[in-house]
Amino acid sequence: MENVVVFEGMEALIWRLPDREHWAMFFQSWHQWEQNKPGRNVVWIGCDITQGIVPLTEEERNWRDVTGWCYQELTSRCSRVDRLWCGLAERIK
């Protein structure tokens, strides 16, 4: 299992530091780690907070926007993307 890293709760991590540049560098670093040795995998798990009613506060709207951007960035880098909804898996990529 030393070749697998799992980040769960991405939306909560992003809440602590909603900065796109920080996350772009963070994702790039882990992408490089994954590419440097065959068999390495990084698993990203996050809740989709980008749907529904737009938050009233600027802080929450920024968090939602940055989270959506991060998910798009991860999707572009990942070779596989699955969405789970009500316990049903849907392969997106």
pLDDT number for residue 51: 85
Residues 16-28 have pLDDT tens digits of 999 999 999 999 9
Band of the pLDDT at 52, cuts 50, 70, 90?
confident
Whole-angstrom distance, CA of residue 67 vs CA of residue 10:
8
Q: How many helices (H) and strands (E) does the chain have?
A: 3, 4
Q: What angle do CA 29, 51, 30 make, to 5 degrees?
A: 5
**Full set of structural domains in the chain with CATH:** 4-91 (3.40.50.300)
Average pLDDT, the chain: 94
pTM score, whole prediction: 0.87
The strand pair at 4-8 and 41-45 is best described as: parallel
